Amino acid sequence: MSNTSNKILSALKEFYQEINNEVMGGEKGIDQFLFLLDNRSTEAEFNLDKLVVQPHGVAFRHPDSQSIVRSYTPGTGIFYDIPHASEKTPITEKLRDSIIAGASGTGFSESNARLMSQIMVEHTVAHTTTRWKYAIDTMRTGKFTPLGAQGDEISGLEIDFSRDASLDITADLTDSDVDFDVAMKALYDAYRAKGGNPANLTVIMGTDWLYEMQTTDDVLTRMQANAANVLIRQNMNPPKYMGVNGLYFVGEYLIPGTFSMVTILGYEPQDTFVAYKGATAEVFFPTDEALMFSSGDKRYRVFGGIDALDDSKRAVRVAGSEIVFDSYNSFDPVTEFIRSQTRLAFIPANIDHVARSTGTFTSES
């Protein structure tokens, strides 16, 4: 079938490309903000030695009596298996023959190079957004739960860090006795009760919580009483926070009855998260949750070793990375496969230094 035209055709064409949630130059992902430390190796496991101590004071003694015995409990060594993600895109004869969006039409080589580039970009964005979602969910739930192709759980791969149940609380803001201040104080008390660090104290809030903060009379009154309050200067047009894609600075908030100034953040990247083809889109951060943590605590992005093919198509072990690309062929029909891999886990040094509150709100939120 052919198409004909009696009109003069432009020799130039415009190319519009939109790949949502792509990280631009100078930006970083929220996984790098929440998990500051990278561990990259050629291994399949991550070893974390853990020693958590809450020292008590010293005791005095009677003259000529023996010193008081202070016992020592050694730490623990924990091995975590690092889950493996791998996806491939076949470049078939039919795909090679197709018109590739954005190609100038100068020939097969240019079109094929454009095709390869676009496939790699899509893989990269898919890996990137998956890291964002899993980093957030590890902080929220206290578990790293890698899922399969249709969202199914894979036996033996989940890492449960056993967060203390007291750190997962609820707040009923439909109750007249519970307002934003009361809810934040309860979250803070739960966080500090398990030794949470008061330095660099940060709360990421879902949109229901942000609405509650911005419409609570007591909070508004304090904002209006202090013309220099950062909440007034910033919440009309929240700026991006620390160059993190989708993370916005809402303001600073002094929790009543404490000495702790909290940095309030909201997270909303360009688009929602779709876990797999055909899955229902979901927000990256739930609207009804607030998460408290110290931005300076030790948390690890762990990248394990990858088996890949080098340029000579020999198997090599590659040190862990956000994404490792290689390619291989099948010969009848001729098909090239572009493959992307990663071996990834998010591991907090102490999951009991993260607290979550799930709120109940009025319909106006």
Q: Report d(CA 263, CA 214) in Å as an integer.
A: 15
Q: Which residues contact 182 (CB under 8 A, 6 or more apart)?
A: 171
Express each pLDDT in 247-267 by its tens digit: 999 888 888 888 888 999 999
| Domain annotation for the chain: domains and CATH numbers | 25-52+75-365 (3.90.1690)
**Helix locations, the chain, DSSP H:** 30-34, 93-97, 108-141, 180-193, 207-215, 217-225, 230-234
Express each pLDDT in 158-217 by its tens digit: 999 999 999 999 999 999 999 999 999 999 999 999 999 999 999 999 999 999 988 887
Q: Is the pLDDT of residue 230 over 60?
A: no
Q: Is the pLDDT of residue 313 over 80?
A: yes
pLDDT at 14: 43
Say which amino acid occupies 132.
W
DSSP secondary structure of 287-349: TTEEEEEETTS-EEEEE--EEEE-TTS-EEEE---S-EEEEEEEETTEEEEEEEEEEEEEEES
Which residue bears the tokens 């929240």? 238
**Dihedral of CA 221/267/271/358: which sign?**
negative
pLDDT band with cut points at 50, 70 and 90 for residue 77:
low
Closest CA to 192 of 264, 286, 288, 257: 257
Residue 27 token pair: 């930006």
Q: Say what the pTM is.
A: 0.84
